[in-house]
């Protein structure tokens, strides 16, 4: 299985997904008008990865901005991870937010209350 690396743009995040280390990173901005198209390869990759995952999968989400069109796609990503967890594999989602950014912290907590995967809220201090 291959690495998935997508370079960030002003509208879309940097994505790094490594099947050998079990590390997934989504970082930057996610504000495309149509997010479904952007997130499709990520969802497909997770589908394939779920066939032979690492014992432990670490997911780092560090978003500066995301729009509501992306929020549903991010939920879909988390649902794939929830399935992995359900199949007895360790999964941890690290949700990064800028110091005092309550909107971003709250967004992470919204996901945490919907998805049955452990979340760790991590404040980024300058």
Q: Which residues are at the interface with other proteins (CB under 8 A)? A: 10-11, 31, 33-34, 36, 64-65, 67-69, 71-72, 75, 98, 100-101, 103, 106, 110, 113-114
Residue 72 or 120: the one with the smaller Cβ distance to other proteins is 72
Question: Residue 55 pairs with which residues in a beta bridge?
Answer: none
Question: With 0-12 CB in 10 A as exposed, 13-18 as middle and 19+ as buried, what is 60?
Answer: middle
Based on CB atoms, which residue is closest to other proteins, 79 or 89?
79
Instruction: Give kind and range of the element (H or E) at residue 110.
Output: helix 102-114
CB of 73 to other proteins, least distance (A): 8
In whole angstroms, the minimum distance from the beta carbon of 113 to other proteins comes to 7
Rounded distance between C-alpha atoms, residue 9 and residue 30, angstroms? 9
């Amino acid at each position: 299985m291959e690495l998935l690396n997508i370079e960030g743009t002003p509208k879309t995040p940097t994505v790094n997904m490594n099947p050998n280390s079990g590390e997934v990173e989504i970082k930057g901005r996610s504000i495309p008008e149509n997010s479904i198209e952007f997130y499709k390869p990520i969802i497909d990759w997770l589908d394939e990865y779920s066939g032979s995952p690492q014992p432990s999968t670490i997911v780092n989400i560090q978003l500066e901005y995301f729009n509501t069109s992306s929020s549903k796609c991010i939920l879909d990503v988390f649902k794939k991870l929830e399935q992995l967890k359900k199949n007895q594999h360790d999964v941890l989602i690290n949700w990064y937010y800028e110091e005092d950014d309550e909107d971003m912290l709250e967004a992470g907590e919204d996901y945490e209350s919907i998805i049955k995967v452990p979340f760790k809220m991590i404040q980024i201090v300058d």
